[in-house]
Amino acid sequence: MLVSSIEDFVKYIPTAAGTTWDAIATFMYDADAEMELMSFGTNAMSALEALSADNDIRKIANKIHCLLGYHHSIPFTDLIQTKTGFAVTNTGNMAPASKERVERLIAWCDDQINTLMDLLTESIRMNSNLLSEWKKFSGYPQIFDCLFVTGIDFARSAQVEGNKRTVFLKEKPNLVSNQNNVLAPVVSKKYLAELISMVSNNNITTDAAPVITLCKQVLGQIFIKNNDNALKTLNEISNLLESDTTKYITYVSSPEYTLRHSANYENKQEDSTYFFGM
C-alpha cells in the first residue's frame, strides 16, 4: 500500500491531524483497491510503491491515495452507531462542522483527485519503466482508446469549464464516437487505430504528430459546436495525408483510400466513406 501510517497520511491531508490510523485504515485499503482495480493494475501499483519516498511521481500517487481514502471516510468520521440509530460524536471543545463545509471539503477532494490523476497519468507516460508496467493492466486499452489521454490534454484543444478531467471523462464516449464516425472516414479506420495505438504507447512518430494534432482539433471543435471550423480542419487532414503518400502507408493501403481513388467513386455524404471537402 502506498501510504500505511497516520504520520504519512497527515503529511498529505493536514486537516486529518486529529484522527488515528485505525479510524481511516478501512477507507485507505478501499482506496488502494480502487487505484489498483480501476486505474493502474497490480504491476503499476507495485512499481509505484517501489519508488523512493522522495520521488515526485510517488508523491503524486501517495496524495491521490490519501485523498481517495479521505474522500471515502469524510461522511463517516464523526458517526457512531448506537442501539437506536446513528449519533454524531462531539467534545466540549469542538462541534461538528456544518453540512456546507463538509460538502465543500468533499468537492475539494474530488477536484484534487481528478487534477492529480491527470498529472500522474502524464508522469507515468514519461517514465518508460512505469509505463511498461501499466500496460500490463487489463484495463489499459480501455483507458487509452482515445486520442486524448487526460483532461489537461483535452483542454488544449477545447474550451473546458470546470475540472478538466471531470469534463473529459464525461465527454469521452462522445469523443470516441466522433473518432469512429467523423475522423475514421477521412483518415481510414486502419490509420486511426494506428494513431490511437501511438498515443496509447507514447511513441508518436514525426509524420503522425501533425495528423494527431489536427484530429484533436477536430474533436475539440465539435465539442464546442464549431462545426464550420471542424470541416475546415478535416480538409486540412485530408490534404496532409494526400500531400505525401509515402509518409502515410497505412492510410494509402486502406480500403477507404482505394475506394476514394477508384474511377467510379462518388463522394456521397450519406456514405460511411464520405470524404469531407471533395
**Does one domain contain both 161 and 202?**
yes
Most distant CA pair in the chain, distance: 87
Would 265 be classed as within a structural domain? no
Q: How many structural domains is the chain composed of?
A: 2
**Does one domain contain both 15 and 133?**
yes
Would 266 be classed as within a structural domain? no
87 pLDDT band (50/70/90 cuts)? very low
270 pLDDT band (50/70/90 cuts)? low
For residue 184, the tally of other CB atoms under 10 A from its CB is 19
Percent of the chain with pLDDT over 70: 84
Contact status, residue 6 vs residue 21, Cβ threshold 8 Å = yes
**Does one domain contain both 79 and 173?**
no
Q: 22 Cβ partners below 8 Å, 6+ apart?
A: none
**Does one domain contain both 29 and 148?**
no
- Which is more confident, 276 or 63? 63
pTM recorded for the entire structure: 0.83
Mean pLDDT is lowest, of 71-80, 118-127, 150-159, 256-265, for: 71-80
Would 94 be classed as within a structural domain? yes
**Does one domain contain both 81 and 108?**
yes
Quick one: which of 145, 149, 139, 113 has its CA closest to 45? Answer: 139
Average pLDDT in the chain: 88
Would 267 be classed as within a structural domain? no
Residue range 224-246: mean pLDDT, rounded: 94
Contact status, residue 170 vs residue 146, Cβ threshold 8 Å = no
User: What pLDDT is stored for residue 83 in this prediction?
Assistant: 44
Residue 86 has pLDDT above 90, yes or no: no
Query: pLDDT digits over 145-171, tens only?
Result: 999 999 999 999 998 888 999 999 999
198 is in which domain, residue-wise? 144-260
**Does one domain contain both 255 and 195?**
yes
- Which is more confident, 106 or 227? 227
Query: pLDDT digits over 188-218, tens only?
Result: 999 999 999 999 999 999 999 999 999 999 9
43 pLDDT band (50/70/90 cuts)? very high
**Does one domain contain both 105 and 23?**
yes
Would 274 be classed as within a structural domain? no
Q: 110 Cβ partners below 8 Å, 6+ apart?
A: 71, 163, 166
